[in-house]
Chains A and B, each alone.
Chain A
Amino acid sequence: MSSSKSLLVGGYEVVIGFETHAQLATQSKIFSRASTAFGAEPNTQACAVDLALPGTLPVMNKAAVELAIRLGLALGSHIAEQSVFARKNYFYPDLPKGYQISQFEIPVVQGGEVSFFLGDEKKTVRLVRAHLEEDAGKSLHEDFIGQSGIDLNRAGTPLLEIVTEPDIRSSAEAVAYAKELHKIVTWIGICDGNMQEGSFRCDANVSVRKPGAPLGTRREIKNLNSFKFMQQAIDYEVRWQIEQIEDGHAIQQATVLFDPDTGETRAMRTKEDAADYRYFPDPDLPPLVIARDWVEQVKAAMPELPRGMAERLVRDYGLPEYDATTLTQSPAMAAYFEAAAQASGQAKLVSNWIMGEVSRRLNAEEGDIASAPVSAAQLATLIGRIADGTVSNNAAKQVFDALWTGEGREVDAVIEAKGLKQMNDSGALEKIIDEVMAANAEMVEQFRAGKDKAFNALVGQAMKASKGKANPQQVNDLLRQKLG
């Protein structure tokens, strides 16, 4: 449960629950042997079963179950030994059977939680459940006047629907949760996380209430497919709901869509009787039984999970939790960190550099750590040079730049070429400091009179005099010594 530090909006508490549909990274569909590959010509990956042709029947994909087990293990959930598939009945053109095979009373994954940092604060969002179900097809409206074109390629793609308790208390927390879940599902390889292709779709159930009041009526914002718009959409919805309430209108339960062009949420045309899905266990599918030893097998084959790895980084490298969480955003990032930390023996410095310089450039270029031009080994070397005083932090940034752009390929060679070696020779340094003190007698007096700022000014002068090559720490120490 998230901490009680609520972020009230206009005096109202925001209550959010998330439902995420993650497309599972299987080759074939959940109940048929057609391909799940994205981008095929319409209805070329919709076989007889997907089209619900008369006489067709579902047959379960083992990999989809295995991926569900993986998620359950990653989130500390209970994995049901026996779960049941149920039919959710409603009519829609992208739903070929007129029902969706899903799970209702007894889902495969029960409970669990997702923890993450929001700023410096650690949050935990509890899961209600995660269940297996099939995706629907797509409706295309653009090219047809008064009609829609239905493509059933996507129908039958396996989904894991991941449902949280209404534990989230702000739009920022919602985005942080979604990002963490995204990290986890991609980390453990169950979902490719491609939000543009619809692999990871979020619905946010949003309501507001005065603190201490019972839960307000919620509206569901569907299909939030980018983190950027997610926060915007929730913020708008919250403000809208508050305005309605303040104006004396009750909130009606509704499904809404976010329009990124207008920045507004808008109620969808209500699906009549949408609430009565007439769930019943699917007679075409016996109960799914998951034996303990299958779960153990999957567990044994799981990679180290982000949270566990983060805890290990804290333990083994003495990193703060925040750093550890950030560095475990992907297996590749974590591996990069460990390689550099072990090679240089400077875990915290490496962490700073990765979270700082490296991430900054990756974000700007929209690349991932695998594409970073500076290798972990190179970074380790560079950091070693900072640690042993060969270069100052600032100079190191220049070296890093050169390595990143490909101007240079080897740390020491770049340092040489750019003449960036720090002046460590205390003799030469003392001489410079003596000169600076002599040339800035006023500042010296001001410092001795109590003005601490003067000290920094003197340090600045010394650095200038050394053309930036002096080791700032040494300058500091020497100056203090001489000033008495």
Chain B
Amino acid sequence: MSLTQSDIGRIANLARLELSSAQSETMRSQLNGFFDIVEQMNAVDTTGVEPLAHPTAVIDHVSLRLRPDVVSEPDQREANQKSAPAVERGLFLVPKVIE
């Protein structure tokens, strides 16, 4: 399993990261080094094994708690927008979204 430059480009794009060609190359070789140690996972026979999404599910029934349908969050726009990069009239501003 060997990642190519094109793979790196595609993944970086999906993750909205921008890598220079030097960074891309470094990333590629580091990830390939990493995936070498991942290969050993393929050999493990996991037939019939359920994935463990929630750790304590091994010993306990883990199920989603449901809360009552009550509104209890007041308007805290100012506090919530304290660290916003660009706000106008309460709206978060971004470069135009073209559909």
Residue among A60, A150, A257 with the highest chain B CB neighbour number at 10 A: A150
Given contacts A46-B80, A91-B16, A276-B14, contact A286 B69 (CB under 8 A): no
Docked-complex contact B69 and A26, CB < 8 angstroms: yes
* A149: contacting residue among B64, B92, B98, CB under 8 A: B92
Docked-complex contact A43 and B69, CB < 8 angstroms: no
List 29 A-B residue pairs with CB atoms under 8 Å apart, sorted by A's residue number.
A27-B71, A28-B71, A28-B73, A41-B90, A42-B90, A43-B77, A44-B90, A46-B77, A47-B73, A51-B80, A59-B65, A59-B67, A60-B65, A62-B68, A93-B92, A94-B97, A139-B97, A141-B96, A141-B97, A144-B88, A148-B93, A148-B95, A149-B91, A150-B91, A281-B53, A286-B57, A287-B62, A288-B63, A288-B64
CA distance A346 to B59 in the complex (A): 65
CA distance A152 to B76 in the complex (A): 13
18 other contacts beyond A35-B73, A42-B89, with CB at 8 A cut-off? A33-B72, A41-B77, A45-B73, A46-B77, A47-B76, A60-B64, A63-B68, A65-B66, A91-B16, A94-B97, A141-B96, A148-B95, A149-B93, A268-B99, A276-B14, A281-B53, A288-B64, A289-B63
In the complex, how many angstroms separate the beta carbon of A60 from the nearest chain B beta carbon? 5
In the complex, how many angstroms separate the beta carbon of A154 from the nearest chain B beta carbon? 13
* A148: contacting residue among B16, B71, B96, CB under 8 A: B96
User: Is B70 an interface residue when CB atoms closer than 8 A count as contact?
Assistant: yes
Docked-complex contact B98 and A34, CB < 8 angstroms: no
Binding site for B on A (CB under 8 A): 26-28, 32-35, 41-48, 51, 53, 59-65, 82, 85, 91-94, 139-141, 144, 146-152, 257, 268-269, 272-273, 276, 278, 281, 283, 285-289
Chain B minimum-CB-distance residue to A147: B93
Instruction: Give the size range of B's interface with the partner.
Output: 35 or more
CA distance A268 to B98 in the complex (A): 9
CA distance A85 to B99 in the complex (A): 28
B-side contacts of A288, CB under 8 Å: 63-64
In the complex, how many angstroms separate the beta carbon of A225 from the nearest chain B beta carbon? 15
* A150: contacting residue among B14, B57, B70, B92, CB under 8 A: B92
Given contacts A45-B75, A152-B92, A283-B53, contact A269 B69 (CB under 8 A): no
Binding site for A on B (CB under 8 A): 10, 13-14, 16, 53-54, 57, 62-73, 75-77, 80-81, 88-99
Chain A minimum-CB-distance residue to B94: A93
In the complex, how many angstroms separate the beta carbon of A2 from the nearest chain B beta carbon? 33
Chain A minimum-CB-distance residue to B91: A149
* B66: contacting residue among A43, A61, A140, A151, CB under 8 A: A61
B-side contacts of A47, CB under 8 Å: 73, 76, 80
In the complex, how many angstroms separate the beta carbon of B94 from the nearest chain A beta carbon? 5
In the complex, how many angstroms separate the beta carbon of B49 from the nearest chain A beta carbon? 15
In the complex, how many angstroms separate the beta carbon of B20 from the nearest chain A beta carbon? 20
Docked-complex contact B99 and A257, CB < 8 angstroms: yes
A-side contacts of B70, CB under 8 Å: 27-28, 33
CA distance A286 to B57 in the complex (A): 9
Main secondary structure of the interface of B (DSSP, over half): loop
CA distance A34 to B13 in the complex (A): 33
Residue among A28, A152, A268 with the highest chain B CB neighbour number at 10 A: A28
A-side contacts of B98, CB under 8 Å: 269
In the complex, how many angstroms separate the beta carbon of A98 from the nearest chain B beta carbon? 8
CA distance A157 to B49 in the complex (A): 36
Docked-complex contact A148 and B94, CB < 8 angstroms: yes
Docked-complex contact B54 and A283, CB < 8 angstroms: yes
Given contacts A44-B75, A46-B80, A273-B13, contact A28 B92 (CB under 8 A): no
List 5 tightest A-B contacts by C-beta distance, closest first. Answer: A149-B91, A63-B69, A62-B66, A47-B73, A289-B63
In the complex, how many angstroms separate the beta carbon of A54 from the nearest chain B beta carbon? 10
Docked-complex contact A44 and B77, CB < 8 angstroms: yes
A-side contacts of B72, CB under 8 Å: 28, 33
In the complex, how many angstroms separate the beta carbon of A43 from the nearest chain B beta carbon? 5
CA distance A48 to B70 in the complex (A): 16
Docked-complex contact A149 and B54, CB < 8 angstroms: no
A-side contacts of B73, CB under 8 Å: 28, 32-35, 45, 47
B-side contacts of A60, CB under 8 Å: 64-67
Residue among A32, A65, A82, A148 with the highest chain B CB neighbour number at 10 A: A148
Residue among A43, A53, A65 with the highest chain B CB neighbour number at 10 A: A43
Chain A minimum-CB-distance residue to B10: A273
Docked-complex contact B89 and A149, CB < 8 angstroms: yes
Docked-complex contact A43 and B71, CB < 8 angstroms: no
In the complex, how many angstroms separate the beta carbon of B60 from the nearest chain A beta carbon? 10
B-side contacts of A59, CB under 8 Å: 65, 67
B-side contacts of A93, CB under 8 Å: 92, 94, 97
B-side contacts of A62, CB under 8 Å: 66-69
CA distance A17 to B27 in the complex (A): 43
